[in-house]
Amino acid sequence: MDLKDVFFKEGFIFNLKGNDKVEVFDEMIEVLYENNRIKDKENFKYAILKREEEGPTGIGNGIAIPHGVSDSVNIPTIIYGYKESGLKYESLDNTDVNMIFMIAVPKGSNNEHLKILSQLARALIHKEVVEGIKNAKSPEEILKVF
């Protein structure tokens, strides 16, 4: 599966408004719900927060990849959010996060979840990819980077 296939046009938020991790998660989950990517906001939020309890999803360099596997997910999806001022976030390098890639995967497709997560993490290791995303002003520009 190509990463470009799990993004969706409305799933790019270039000005996250939330002031903490949970507010940002709520904002992103609302977009997933409005676009029929998930059918139950609370159920999916529970999956995301439960995963957060297991350890940091802030991978460093201003990036976080919160992810959840839930029966409330309709289709494997990545939603992207950007917050210029950054957020306090448990991160491996103890820095604020301003790029969030939230992964939603239906229960029963754990293999899919791991594939998406590893492809995304591998892409985000490259400095030119991160810079390209950080400087992007449209979904199309981000997708070109991948």
The per-residue pLDDT string of the chain (146 residues; one tens digit each, 9 = 90 and over) reads: 688 889 999 999 999 999 999 999 999 999 999 999 999 999 999 999 999 999 889 998 999 999 999 999 999 999 999 999 999 988 888 889 999 999 999 998 768 777 888 899 999 999 999 999 999 999 999 999 98
| Interior angle at CA 50, CA 32 and CA 102, nearest 5 | 35
CB burial of 48-65 (b: ≥16 within 10 Å; e: otherwise) equals beeebeeebbbbebbbbb
Nearest Cα neighbor of 36 from 10, 1, 12 is 10
Given 37, 67, 83, 113, which residue is catalytic?
A: 67
Helical H runs in the chain?
Answer: 21-34, 41-54, 110-123, 127-135, 139-145
Q: What is the pTM of this model?
A: 0.94
Contact by Cβ (8 Å): 120, 78: yes
Active site residue 67: yes
